[in-house]
Amino acid sequence: MALDLETPAEHHAAAAWEIACSWQIEPDHVRSFVKPFLAKHMRAKKTRAPLLLNSTVPRKKRAMLSKTLGASRFLIVLAVLGSLLAATTLLVYGLLESAQLVWVTIETGEVSRKGAKALALEFIEIIDLFLLGTVFYIIALGLYELFISSDINVPGWLTIKTLDDLKNKLIAVVIVVLGVLFLGQVVGWNGETDLLGYGVACALVIAALTYFLSTKTGSK
């Protein structure tokens, strides 16, 4: 809104008020000096300027938006609970599978090379379940430490301060998972399946992830 200002003092007052509003500040000496001039011309033009004379309204809106956005980080609790539930399910299921496998092995009482190979393969698959559960557990811890609170009593190697820390820990576990998967294929190999393609694929993925970890560590 253009104001019809007459004196240089009024021009300076209007300029000072615009600067104060643009800088989102409201010093008392600026308000006390500027308001009389602006109010005089607003009354002369029979207009009202509640927003111009009171810059606290947008400030309150910004403060409310900041609080809302700051509180929205607690939405990550949903991801934390989901990841923790997935980790718990995989770990408990792996424990039950282990107990059942041990019970069946003792109940049958069969001791043979073929049975040992099958037993090793079963346990490797169970270890794979535990590793996947560990991945989800690390995700749950990392998201909680990054978005909610870092005040958690965990070992030093589980302390996650940045998103890169979380990615590095996940990549390390994924490399182990890939190695265990390939080991399971080797143990269960029947002599006919071509493991070369599978092994090369796993090796390439592991090499790429290892290179990524080394570059991240080197950059630090």
* DSSP-derived secondary structure for 77-103: HHHHHHHHHHHHHHHHHHHHHHHHHHH
Q: Is the pLDDT confidence value at 59 over 60? A: yes
Max CA separation in the chain (angstroms): 106
Residue 61 resides in a domain: no
User: Which range of residues forms the domain containing residue 146?
Assistant: 76-219
**CA-closest candidate to residue 181, choices 118, 119, 129, 117:** 129
Same-domain pairing of 20 and 97: no
Domain identity same for 202 and 113: yes
In a domain, 149, yes or no: yes
30 lies in a domain?
yes
* Whether 83 and 145 share a structural domain: yes
What is the pTM for the complete model shown?
0.64
Provide the sign of the torsion angle of the four alpha carbons 169, 172, 174, 176, taken in this order.
negative
In a domain, 43, yes or no: yes
Q: How confident is the model at residue 85 (pLDDT cuts 50, 70, 90)?
A: very high
User: pLDDT (tens digit, 9 = 90+) per residue, 112-157?
Assistant: 877 788 888 899 989 999 999 999 999 999 999 998 888 888 888 8
The band of 220, judged by pLDDT with boundaries at 50, 70 and 90, is low
Q: Are residues 141 and 41 in the same domain?
A: no
Paired tokens of 22:
């643009």
Whether residues 97 and 163 share a domain: the answer is yes
Are residues 31 and 119 located together in one domain of the fold?
no
Interatomic CA distance for residues 154 and 140, integer angstroms: 13
Whether 50 and 104 map to the same domain: the answer is: no
Asked if residue 18 and residue 109 are part of one domain, the reply reads no
Q: Is the pLDDT of residue 213 over 50?
A: yes
| Total of domains in the chain | 2
In a domain, 71, yes or no: no
- On the 0-12 / 13-18 / 19+ scale of CB atoms within 10 A, 37 is buried
Give ∠ CA 171-74-85 in degrees, rounded to 5: 55
